[in-house]
Amino acid sequence: MDGTPAPTVTPTDAFRTILNRLAVGETLNEADAEQAFGLIMDGGIPDMLIAAFLMALRVRGEQRAELLGAVRAVRSRMRRVAPVPAGTIDVCGTGGDGLGTLNISTAVAFVLAALGVPVAKHGNKALSSRSGATDVLGALGVALSDDPAVIATRLNESGLVFMAAPSHHPAMRFAAPARSALGMRTLFNLIGPLCNPADVTRQLVGVFDPAWLRPVVETLQLLGSECAWAVHGTCGVGQGVDELTLAGPTAIVALQDGVLYDFVLEPGDAGLPPAPISAIAGGGPAENAAALEELLAGARGAYRDTVLLNAAAALHVAGRGNILKEGEVQPASLRALVAEAARVLDDGSALAVLKSARAGMPPVRDEFIQG
């Protein structure tokens, strides 16, 4: 040996090696993906390479192993919220469907909290839409804490917290410029909802592409989830939404009692009238916030009905009802949960949760009696 030191492999060199493999069509295994996303989130990788990496994955088609590795990388670096109440749930869409609808899952969070279901809602500003969860909460006057200890206290006292992704995933800031410049959905849209800082084991996840329904739920199962639904609504020919919808059938993959079920839910199953996706078209944060507050004050229409449908599904995921028997939807049970959700919109309980959230005080929660 001549004693010449081996050349130093920089993080950028290591990342380029992985990127070159993607360029020739290779698929990354879980460990490779965890390394690649870890390199991104440890900083120092040029934005251009990050954008190239994300687009290479998208053009070739992202795989479940790549999603799982990415999620493990993000979870290992997030600022966790603990302890949390038993049975805490998250309701979150991936975004990336490009439809710009009103904020559904944020509204559902207020309904669930009014029914006594602890909610740790994870969200972000808009990256590929006009108004993300934290955008609309800001317009509503709901202040978000960035202190995990404060958030845990609020969750245990009030049963509802909203967690801004940047506060809990500071390492994701290194990918933000590339994501924003691309302006389209990437694997990060899937990663975010699977990395709840409160480590919830019950989740209702809206997915932008039905091809990801099963991989998302399988990933959550491998990471210890107890009950999870991944949903994708059909709202036109070749068009879908990352929520349960009134515009057509919703495809669902559910994890329940360790078993995965594939099924379809129709608006009529819930006793709700169909409505085109245009009926819940949203705008900027101020416009969406006004619509959400009107909804909580009892306004009727397609927005309310869409929230009721999603809230009923979330109540099932939270263990507060059973609308699925051996993989088959039970319409009577589903309609009972829709009625429970409607009650707290009509009696002012959900609006009271919003007012308490604005004041930073615990809301007065309804005692939910499981039927």
In degrees, rounded to 5, the angle at the alpha carbon of residue 315 between the alpha carbons of residues 294 and 292 is 15
Q: pTM value?
A: 0.91
DSSP string of 139-199, one letter each residue: HHT------HHHHHHHHHHHSEEEEEHHHH-GGGGGTHHHHHHHTS--HHHHHGGG--TT-
* CA neighbor of 115 nearest in space, from 302, 335, 312, 270: 312
Q: What is the pLDDT of residue 362?
A: 53
**Residues 297-306: tens digit of each pLDDT:** 999 999 999 9
**Most distant pair of Cα atoms in the chain: their distance:** 82
Contact 93, 129 (CB under 8 A): no
- Cα–Cα distance measured from residue 180 to residue 262, given in angstroms and rounded to the nearest whole number: 34
Give every residue of the chain whose pLDDT is below 70, as ranges.
Answer: 1-3, 5-6, 96-97, 125-131, 361-371
Residue 332, token pair as written in the block: 């009577």
Q: What is the pLDDT of residue 365?
A: 42
Which parts are annotated binding residues?
93, 96-97, 101, 103-106, 121-129, 133, 179, 242-243
Contacts of residue 333, defined as CB under 8 A and 6 or more positions apart, other chains included, come to 321, 322, 323
- Cα–Cα distance measured from residue 115 to residue 87, given in angstroms and rounded to the nearest whole number: 13
Which parts are annotated binding residues for anthranilate?
93, 124, 179
Residue ranges of domains in the chain, CATH in brackets: 11-76 (1.20.970.10), 89-357 (3.40.1030.10)
Q: What is the pLDDT of residue 368?
A: 30
- Cα–Cα distance measured from residue 196 to residue 291, given in angstroms and rounded to the nearest whole number: 27
Q: What is the pLDDT of residue 367?
A: 38
Which parts are annotated binding residues for 5-phospho-alpha-D-ribose 1-diphosphate?
93, 96-97, 101, 103-106, 121-129, 133
Residue 82, token pair as written in the block: 């603990």
Amino acid identity, position 70: A
Average of per-residue pLDDT values in the chain: 92
Contacts of residue 104, defined as CB under 8 A and 6 or more positions apart, other chains included, come to 93, 206, 243, 280, 306, 307, 310
